[in-house]
Amino acid sequence: MTDIQTLESKIQLNISEASDEAILESVRVSALGKKGSISLEMKTLGKMTPEQRKEMGPALNGLKSRITDAIAVRKSVLKAEALELRLERETLDISLPTRKGPADTGRVHPVAQVMDELTAIFADMGFAIAEGPDIETDFNNFTALNFPPDHPARLEHDTFFLPEREDGTQMVLRTHTSPVQVRTMRSQKPPIRVICPGRTYRCDSDQTHTPMFHQVEGLVIDKTANLGNLKWVLEEFLKAFFEIDSVKMRFRASHFPFTETSMEVDIGCRRVGNEIRVGEGDDWLEILGCGMVHPNVLRHCNLDPDEYQGFAWGMGIDRIAMLKYGMPDLRAFFGADKRWLDHYGFKPFDIPSLVGGLSQ
Ligand code: DAH
């Protein structure tokens, strides 16, 4: 009995002196492990007389359970102490600025932003996106769009021609996004409702012209599409894009080979110094070309003009971006100057949507 008491007080002392969980664990192993002091005592039970065993059995079991409990209590105390220590040591200054990641420093180019805005607006009206290649056939860029052969309009576009091929034909860098109309009508059945944003090329360069620029084309073809529909689509688009409640529009007769009637659209604006404010004032600003698709274009696209009709429009993306975001020089768009992009670019996670807002 004295032995058991001595053993117990020795182990209890070790337990209370254990200063961390690792030491406590070694105390546990040395007492309760396979070769631990208590386990060894338990093994002696087998060799005892029944009377001795009757006395020692409960005593040893009691010892074992008291030690087990004491270890568990000490363990939770040590855990709490360790946590307290960590909390004291590991302070976090939440007033420090965070390190900037790519999403904070990278910027979305205004052209990409405006393309996303266009897409959000027209997708909401039920338009799909159609795309075509930058290098086009003369047929898709001109002939199918009702440009007569050797017509000066082909030259008006300041076309970049690629070297003549063996069969005598020449590919071109598309001068407008209108060839995507042709590709769409030749590959899809009406009803068609698409917008075609993309790069376009003309041999031209000054403050408002660059050899590569961006356009967006719109096309609607079905059996009844009419000018009233066109006007509504454009008006809704302009209001949504410029984020204004109403927009004044003026349709002027114009000429494009691929539309009949053809019109240019001006929107109401006010000029304040160099700045142009859309949606107010008595000035006008030309913004896009449009019209009813010419029957010859429908025929070139294997559609019967007696059955189908439609309207189309084309617009400079860079130009409406300059207008909306007050960027004065188009050439800076393609200058790859990071300072310009830092200033005019958009945060990558601010994805334009009609619900979340286009530009904020
Ligand atoms: N393709 C014309 C251009 O490059 C823009 C245009 C005008 C497109 C009228 C159209 C349209 O679809 O109907 O200037």
- pLDDT at residue 153 above 70? no
- pLDDT at residue 327 above 90? no
Query: In this predicted model, which residue has the larger pLDDT, 95 or 296?
Result: 296
Provide the residue count of the chain. 360
pLDDT at residue 110, as a whole number? 95
Q: What's the per-residue H, E or C state across 62-102?
A: HHHHHHHHHHHHHHHHHHHHHHHHHHHHCCCCCCCCCCCCH
Q: Whose CA is nearest to atom 8 of ligand 1?
A: 314
Place domain 109-344 in its CATH homologous superfamily.
Bira Bifunctional Protein; Domain 2 (3.30.930.10)
pLDDT tens profile 208-248: 788 999 999 999 999 999 999 999 999 999 999 999 999 99
Output the average pLDDT for the chain.
Answer: 92
Q: Whose CA is nearest to atom 5 of ligand 1?
A: 314
Mean pLDDT score, 284-312: 97
Q: How far apart are CA 308 and CA 35, in angstroms?
A: 95
**Ligand 1 environment, Cβ below 6 A:** 176, 178, 217, 256, 259, 289-291, 312-314
Longest Cα–Cα distance of the chain, Å, equals 124
DSSP one-letter code for 204: -
Question: Candidates 230, 290, 311: which one to mutate for ligand 1, based on the most atoms within 8 Å of Cβ?
Answer: 290
Q: Which atom of ligand 1 is least distant from the CA of 178?
A: 1
Q: Which atom of ligand 1 is least distant from the CA of 176?
A: 4
E strands present in 121-191: 128-129, 135-136, 172-173
Q: How far is the CA of 314 from the centre of ligand 1 (A)?
A: 4
Rounded to a whole number, what is the distance in angstroms from the first to the last CA of the chain?
83
The pTM score is 0.72
Q: How far is the CA of 311 from the centre of ligand 1 (A)?
A: 11
Q: How far apart are CA 326 and CA 292, in angstroms?
A: 32
pLDDT tens profile 93-130: 889 888 888 878 899 999 999 999 999 999 999 999 99
Question: Candidates 185, 217, 264: which one to mutate for ligand 1, based on the most atoms within 8 Å of Cβ?
Answer: 217
Query: In this predicted model, which residue has the larger pLDDT, 123 or 206?
Result: 123
Q: How far is the CA of 116 from the centre of ligand 1 (A)?
A: 21
